[in-house]
Chains A and B, each alone.
Chain A
Amino acid sequence: ETGVTQSPTHLIKTRGQQVTLRCSSQSGHNTVSWYQQALGQGPQFIFQYYREEENGRGNFPPRFSGLQFPNYSSELNVNALELDDSALYLCASSLEGGGAYNEQFFGPGTRLTVL
């Protein structure tokens, strides 16, 4: 157990809808990263939040957005859902926004299905 929690566990939406996924980071961690993992693939970096500011972004369109709160928990919002957004969404917490020893601790993920 990493101490990172995510909710909900599973979610089914239809195309065009909006979704919000939530993540609580491990105690003491001030950095949260979000990853998308399509079936049979490795995780792909969406973005990272450090002390409530976006701190790096991967190759995802602007309809993927996020927030980090003062308690370092985080949300991932996806607007105008597309079928290809169906995936496992993972959040990971870490200390100090990256650096040479960026060990990240992952939550169990949210499985999103878009119909």
Chain B
Amino acid sequence: SQQGEEDPQALSIQEGENATMNCSYKTSINNLQWYRQNSGRGLVHLILIRSNEREKHSGRLRVTLDTSKKSSSLLITASRAADTASYFCATDAGAQKLVFGQGTRLTINP
């Protein structure tokens, strides 16, 4: 079973626009992580936000975490064609495993 639910399942935007993806989860967590996956290949770690943090930035990425609502969002600003990929949130509840959502497929149109 998968804890995280990403929303939307698919997102298509024009290059230069901002992309926002949301993730909801069910149980208490130690941290939440976002990953990118290109064309069914390996996962690339983007950012980790701890349960006591509310917002974190890394380059063009901004992640928020609301533990009271059990939700997180990933914002990619000034999108580029190379950002086309699937994005997954993963929660770490301290049980030696990451629990992934089903992902958001992001397409950046030139």
Contact = CB atoms under 8 A, between A and B. Distances in A.
A100 B41 contact: no
Chain A interface SS verdict (over half)? loop
Interface residues of B, number: 28
Contacts of A44: 2, 100
Interface residues of A, number: 35
Interface of B: 1-2, 4, 30-31, 33, 35, 40-45, 48, 50, 88, 90, 92, 94-103
A-B pairs, top 3 by smallest CB distance, nearest first, are: A56-B96, A42-B100, A45-B97
11 contacts: A35-B98, A43-B43, A43-B98, A45-B98, A90-B42, A98-B94, A98-B97, A102-B98, A103-B45, A107-B42, A109-B41
Interface of A: 2, 4, 33, 35, 37, 39-45, 48, 50, 55-56, 58-59, 88, 90, 92, 97-109, 111
